[in-house]
Structure 1
Amino acid sequence: MPRTLLSLLLALVVLPAFASDAAVPTIHLAGDSTMAEKLPEKRPETGWGELLAARFRDGSVRIDNRAKNGRSTRTFIEEGRWRDLLDATVPGDVVLIQFGHNDQSIEKPDRYTPPADYVRNLQRFVADVRAKDATPVLLTPVARRRFDEAGHVLPSHGEYPDLVRALAARENVVLIDMERRSSAVLQERGAEGSKALFLWIAAGANSNYPKGAEDNTHFSPLGAARMAREFAFALRESGLPIAARLREAEGAR
């Protein structure tokens, strides 16, 4: 077979593969420990972003999880993490932005971000993503496991979730209200039943936590899976094109 003809046939085989690969969008995750991938020494702590890929059809999206423990909007920018995420973003991608846990930690000056700065940082994130012809999605922070004596879930992020909601409305950005959704899940399970969703470990039950753990912020694998499921339900309702890539089971409870 002439070399030129062979080259042409190879090109016809290879090019569609590249075209198909390029059509797969990436979902980038910018956030904190509740979303982040965990180190082996932290297991069974699990970020809900780690289980997000399972909510989509195989091969229909890529997940780029850049969320990191302890980060606020301010430190995510200062450490160059936002710049790196943006450099990896191309037209057609989606960027999930979920901060608040650390921004509102006024007792931790290494990460605290005053409300006005928090809003400015989120505005920057939205503008930067749109400038890349990608889609920003704002998320309120997930609820901590806090109940009052009557068994009602208590809010634990102050004004920060409302600031996200207001910005999303003002900038016409899709909002996934993870605080309200996660709070409803906790309320449904109750003060005792909700422990299974978090890093509650008996002493001696896990070598990473020889003294046990009673962590009401970070998720167990079960809790992370439930939060990823809640996100998928909300994404389906959002009408974003990427929702069409969810597994069919994500369409209804």
Structure 2
Amino acid sequence: MRHLFHLCACLLLSLTAQAQTQTFDLSRQSKADKPFSFSVAVPDGNYRVTVELGSKSHEGNTMVRAESRRLFVEDTPTKRGKFKTFSFVVNKRSPYITDKERVKLKPREKDYLDWDDSLNLEFTGPHPAVRRVTITPDTTAVTLFLCGNSTVVDQPYDPYASWGQMITRWMDDGYAVANHAESGLTASSFYFQNRLDKILSMMRPGDYVFCEFGHNDQKEKTPGSGAWYNFSYMLKTYIDKVRAKGGNIVFVTPTQRRAFDNSHQHILETHGDYPDAMRAVAKREHVPVIELHDMTRTFFETLGYEGSKRALVHYPANTWPNQPKALADNTHFNPYGAYEVAKMVVMGMKSLNLPMINGLRDWKDFDPAHPDDPQFFRWTPSVRVDVVKPDGN
């Protein structure tokens, strides 16, 4: 896929912790009719963002993403002189917990937009047209904190994507999604890198913490590792700490790998006892469970051996810049696959009757046995592209 666009503008403006609503005129940045970014330096927290899409001078078709490619508004056409307004809540964070404690970031994370000092917006689509942006500190939205690995994380670069950066598409402005997942992590490494501590420092009573682990945990070989001892112990630790702060915890069983049996009809179970261990801890501790493990199995088997490649990072050589070799990754999703898996997570929320389902935006129920046709999925690639495989498998 050839990129015909470049980063046109990136504004850096300051907004103090006590700031009131501020509005920024972006009509000049939109005149070039090319994707551009907009950044505002803000403290950690949730921010209500209102975008007015459209232009007085030309037709537009705009997609809105925030931070590391969290999807909020899909392609939205606007006629010349006509405007459409959308409002959503973006969570912004930094690595700092206290003046003496911080998240232990991996070296590559230091360049991620999720961890910088700014709230970042990206306006893409076939013909981006933005009139103005309004940003207001928000203290009322319920926050959904995400813990997990590369199948959950806000993947910073195309062609990779994960469900955590797509689920924002359907959350109304009463909810914020704070995705703290990172590629290659286990329940233990996530915890000992102070990532749960960062969540707890920002969490308020009534917020939610969603945990999806298992992919990388099964590769731990240290003394005491295993599904029924260290993994189960760490899950119990998450439960106790989240509940002690007045939060609600939800488990998400791991996504399947695209590993078919010899008949090419059925997915092999490659996660050992880890999904069952998660279920057992959840049952004992009365934790709700979203069965993503089962839904992604159905999804892959429905698409079939060849069709399932279209949900993952499978691309011929030279599809992307600096990609001399073919990509054949059977773990990590592309934007279409991540979008479909995010729908499964929403359906899991519905099966548990969690409160955030009462305000879903533009939602239509989804069945992984009847997935969306990938040829009709629309995604304008980001200005940030890197074909280096994320950590973890």
The structure carrying a bigger helix percent of its residues is 1
Aligned to 1:11: none
Judging changes above 3 Å, is the alpha-carbon distance between structure 1 residues 99 and 208 closer, same or farther for their aligned structure 2 residues?
Answer: farther
Aligned to 1:66: 180
**Whole-angstrom CA distance in 2 between matches of 1:69 and 1:209:** 21
For the residue of structure 2 that corresponds to 1:244, the secondary structure is: helix
TM-score (norm 2): 0.56
For the residue of structure 2 that corresponds to 1:180, the secondary structure is: helix
Paired residue for 2:210, among 80, 84, 96? 96
**Whole-angstrom CA distance in 2 between matches of 1:65 and 1:76:** 13
Gaps of 5+ in 1: 1-16
Gaps of 5+ in 2: 1-47, 49-136, 368-393
For the residue of structure 1 that corresponds to 2:219, the secondary structure is: coil
Native 8 Å contact 1:232 1:250 kept in 2: no
**Residue 48 (str. 1) matches residue 163 (str. 2):** yes
Judging changes above 3 Å, is the alpha-carbon distance between structure 1 residues 71 and 207 closer, same or farther for their aligned structure 2 residues?
Answer: same
**Highest relative contact order (Cα 8 Å, sep 6+), 1 or 2?**
1
Within-5 A mapping of 1:103-122: 103-106=217-220, 113-115=225-227, 116-122=229-235
**Whole-angstrom CA distance in 2 between matches of 1:210 and 1:113:** 39
**Whole-angstrom CA distance in 2 between matches of 1:168 and 1:248:** 31
Within-5 A mapping of 1:15-54: 21-40=138-157, 43-54=158-169
**Whole-angstrom CA distance in 1 between matches of 2:154 and 2:277:** 26
**Whole-angstrom CA distance in 2 between matches of 1:154 and 1:252:** 24
Cα root mean square deviation, aligned: 2.0
Paired residue for 1:155, among 259, 269, 275? 269
For the residue of structure 2 that corresponds to 1:193, the secondary structure is: helix
Native 8 Å contact 2:311 2:336 kept in 1: yes
Residues 169-200 of structure 1: CA deviation (Å, up to 9, x unaligned) = 11111100110011111111111110011110
Native 8 Å contact 2:171 2:356 kept in 1: no
Paired residue for 1:81, among 174, 195, 201? 195
- 1:241 deviates by 1.6
> Match of 1:45, as an amino acid?
Y
- 1:243 deviates by 2.1
- 1:77 deviates by 1.2
Identical aligned pairs, as a percentage? 32
Residues 120-162 of structure 1: CA deviation (Å, up to 9, x unaligned) = 1011101111111111000111000010122211111000000
> Match of 2:170, as an amino acid?
R
Aligned length: 230
**Whole-angstrom CA distance in 1 between matches of 2:289 and 2:144:** 15
Residues 73-93 of structure 1: CA deviation (Å, up to 9, x unaligned) = 111111111111111111111
**Whole-angstrom CA distance in 1 between matches of 2:177 and 2:211:** 14
**Whole-angstrom CA distance in 1 between matches of 2:362 and 2:232:** 35
The structure carrying a bigger strand percent of its residues is 2
Within-5 A mapping of 1:1-253: 21-40=138-157, 43-57=158-172, 59-106=173-220, 113-115=225-227, 116-150=229-263, 151-247=265-361, 249-251=363-365, 253=367
**Whole-angstrom CA distance in 2 between matches of 1:126 and 1:238:** 18
- 1:39 deviates by 2.7
Native 8 Å contact 1:236 1:251 kept in 2: no
Moved over 6 A (4+): none
Native 8 Å contact 1:24 1:61 kept in 2: yes
For the residue of structure 2 that corresponds to 1:249, the secondary structure is: coil
Native 8 Å contact 2:148 2:185 kept in 1: yes
